[in-house]
């Protein structure tokens, strides 16, 4: 696969992820500037395969601002993995 094919594939993946509602750069917690990627990486590094809110609060400070990300937990938590 050459560079152009790889870029086209990555672009298609980004479009598909965006269609699903979130891409890796989508901000989950705007107050703490935490993206879907940040959350996924923290969970993977913590050997977690499900979204553990308490872990994310402690590890990343998720929800320590306005807490709207916590109120919307049900809408984004199923789209992390």
Binding interface with ligand FES (CB under 6 A): 29-32, 63-69
Residue 49 CB neighbour total at 10 angstroms:
9
Nearer to ligand FES, 13 or 78 (CB): 78
CB of 15 to ligand FES, least distance (A): 25
**Coil, strand or helix: which one is 30?**
coil
Q: DSSP for 48-75, please give it.
A: -SS--HHHHHHHH-TTSSS-HHHHTHHH
Taking the least distance from each CB to ligand FES, the nearer of 29 and 51 is 29
CB of 5 to ligand FES, least distance (A): 37
């Amino acid at each position: 696969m050459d560079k152009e094919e790889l870029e086209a594939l990555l672009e298609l993946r980004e479009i598909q992820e965006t269609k699903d509602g979130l891409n890796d750069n989508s901000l989950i917690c705007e107050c703490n500037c935490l993206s879907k990627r940040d959350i996924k990486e923290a969970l993977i590094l913590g050997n977690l395969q499900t979204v553990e809110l308490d872990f994310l609060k402690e590890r990343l400070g998720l929800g320590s601002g306005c807490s709207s990300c916590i109120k919307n937990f049900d809408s984004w938590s199923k789209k992390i993995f």
